[in-house]
Amino acid sequence: MRLLLFLGCAAVALCIVRGCSPRNFADSPSHRCFCQVTGYLDDCTCDVETIDAFNNFKLFPKLQKLLESDYFRYYKVNLKKPCPFWDVVSHCGIKDCAVKPCHTSEIPDGIKSSGFKYSEEANRHVGELVDCEKAERLGAVDESLSVETQQAFLQWANHDDSGDNFCEADDEHSPDAEYVDLLLNPERYTGYKGPDAWKIWNIIYEENCFKPQTIKRPLNPLASSRGDNEDNTFYNWLEGLCVEKRAFYRLISGLHASINIHLSARYLLQETWLEQIWGHNASEFQKRFDTVLTKGEGARRLRNLYFLYLIELRAASKVLPFIERLGFQLFTGDKARDTENKKLLLEILQDVKSFPLHFDENSLFAGNKKDADKLKEEFRLHFRNISRIMDCVGCFKCRLWGKLQTQGLGTALKILFSEKQIENLPERGPTYGFQLTRQEIVAFFNAFGRISTSIKELENFRNLLLNTQ
């Protein structure tokens, strides 16, 4: 073990020498975005290069193909849910923010009916469990939580459909929930930016990431004043946190980075009355990730993206036994295609399983059970709150992808930290234990696809920036 650690450090040192040596185009744009994004990642035993090779050549092409199938392209979502925290300034005026829901007739019958069947089954199952689960969870409320937190907790427990959930899922039966074709409404640059967009991330980081108000976040565009030593204070604080809270922050930061990569990679480059041209905008990318322009924040953001990737990768590996069951179908009603898609999905998950340096989720929420459970509950509470904040995003396109990606990450966390067994479930029929709805499955794999795309896009930006000296 010590030898391994030593080798790890040596590898980092080597990479730093190779990648960041001042003789080596120290000031080139590519170098300034990527030289610190290499080698081993903090809090895990994996390195950036292994992830790049695995994702870009193996996973990415297959996953993209899968996500184009009918099962995965239609996501049912309620974009009209009111924001629970403040009055939202609508950005309907921005054309590229619009989301066009599907007409019911466009949705394959199998999806409409199986979605219904699935949730009916799930509801029945929840009805049986909900009372004792509720009692258990309420019993777990710790006296040290504030009154508001306890109240929020009670509210969630009341309409909670499973003790496992990290997200507040949309009610699929609400008349406002509609199917959206994700391929026709891609995540890309919308023009939604400035104070309203900052506000969302600001509230997430300031009020939902365990951060005390007195610690200032570096480069916060909404902060009134910025001192010189704030960066250090912030990172000293972060390093002092327990590994779980630090992981929480890094997941959020990774998600933020991923979304910004998509917006830079599908930027509106040109618009005439005839057509819109979307493509890579390298200077937008640099603005967010260049080490000099971001005072070192860019590299941290990108490393957090890799951390997020590892979390989703591990969840995908862990959910394999659930998907492998004979009774699990990607049901759209087209039998031949459904079988083909399940085969492709299993192939992807086998690849994922063979990845050599998986994140070890047992390193989180370990130790004393009572403390670990309390921490997990806090973690869950914060994450759920973030999923509700997504209803406050003013631009519908961003709201759609924000909701999908938080639900996807929430599902990954549910898979990783569920106390219900995922292995050895019955081959067919209801499992009465670990359960995923179609909405969760669609969100999880699409969210994973987004992160996988981000990692792939980093390669594109690296090449683009190499050509701009």
Ligand X SMILES: *[C@@H]1O[C@H](CO)[C@@H](O)[C@H](O)[C@H]1NC(C)=O
Q: Which residues are catalytic?
A: 395, 398
d(CA 201, CA 208) in angstroms, rounded, equals: 10
CB 286, min distance to ligand X, A: 8
d(CA 83, CA 392) in angstroms, rounded, equals: 5
CB 244, min distance to ligand X, A: 15
Quick one: tokens of 154? 């009670």
Residue 124 is labelled as binding a ligand: no
Spatial contact of 409 and 310, defined as CB atoms under 8 Å apart: no
Q: Residue 113 or residue 283: which is nearer to ligand X going by CB?
A: 283
CB 136, min distance to ligand X, A: 20
CB 190, min distance to ligand X, A: 14
Residue 301 is labelled as binding a ligand: no
Residue 38 is labelled as binding a ligand: no
Neighbours of 409 (CB within 10 A): 28
d(CA 141, CA 59) in angstroms, rounded, equals: 41
d(CA 469, CA 27) in angstroms, rounded, equals: 9
Q: Residue 287 or residue 420: which is nearer to ligand X going by CB?
A: 287
Q: Residue 83 or residue 242: which is nearer to ligand X going by CB?
A: 83
Q: Residue 12 or residue 203: which is nearer to ligand X going by CB?
A: 203
Q: How far is CA 290 from CA 36, 146, 287, 324, in A?
A: 10, 40, 6, 43
CB 70, min distance to ligand X, A: 34
Question: How far, rounded to the nearest angstrom, does the alpha carbon of residue 71 sit from its chain's CA centroid?
Answer: 20
Contacts to ligand X from residues 140-159, by CB under 6 A = 149, 152
Question: How far, rounded to the nearest angstrom, does the alpha carbon of residue 127 sit from its chain's CA centroid?
Answer: 29
Residue 86 is labelled as binding a ligand: no
Q: Residue 131 or residue 148: which is nearer to ligand X going by CB?
A: 148
Quick one: tokens of 245? 């809270």
Residue 201 is labelled as binding a ligand: yes
Beta strands in 60-138 (DSSP E): 74-78
- Left if phi > 0, otherwise alpha if psi is -120 to 50, otherwise beta: which for 21? beta
Sequence-ordered list of residues with C-beta below 8 angstroms from that of 139, at least 6 positions apart, any chain = none
Question: Residues of 239-271 as b/e, b for ≥16 C-beta within 10 angstroms?
Answer: eeeeebbbbbbbbbbbbbbbbbbbbbbbbbeee
DSSP state at residue 227: -
Nearest Cα to 404, choosing from 181, 135, 249, 131? Answer: 181
88 binds ligand X (CB under 6 A): no
Contacts to ligand X from residues 10-49, by CB under 6 A = none
Contacts to ligand X from residues 273-292, by CB under 6 A = 281, 283-284, 287
Contact pattern for ligand X over residues 343 through 382, marking x by CB under 6 A = --------------------------------------xx
Residue 30 is labelled as binding a ligand: no
Contacts to ligand X from residues 196-215, by CB under 6 A = 203, 207-208
Spatial contact of 269 and 284, defined as CB atoms under 8 Å apart: no
Instruction: Give the interface size with ligand X as a residue count (CB under 6 A).
Output: 15
Contact pattern for ligand X over residues 376 through 415, marking x by CB under 6 A = -----xx--x------------------------------
Of 26, 269, 277, 366, the residue at the interface with ligand X (CB under 6 A) is 269
CB 285, min distance to ligand X, A: 8
d(CA 116, CA 98) in angstroms, rounded, equals: 27
Q: Residue 88 or residue 381: which is nearer to ligand X going by CB?
A: 381
The residues of the shown chain that bind ligand X, judged by CB under 6 A, are 85, 149, 152, 203, 207-208, 267, 269, 281, 283-284, 287, 381-382, 385
Per the annotation, where are the binding residues?
Answer: 188, 190, 201, 253, 256, 288
Per the annotation, where are the binding residues for FAD?
Answer: 188, 190, 201, 253, 256, 288
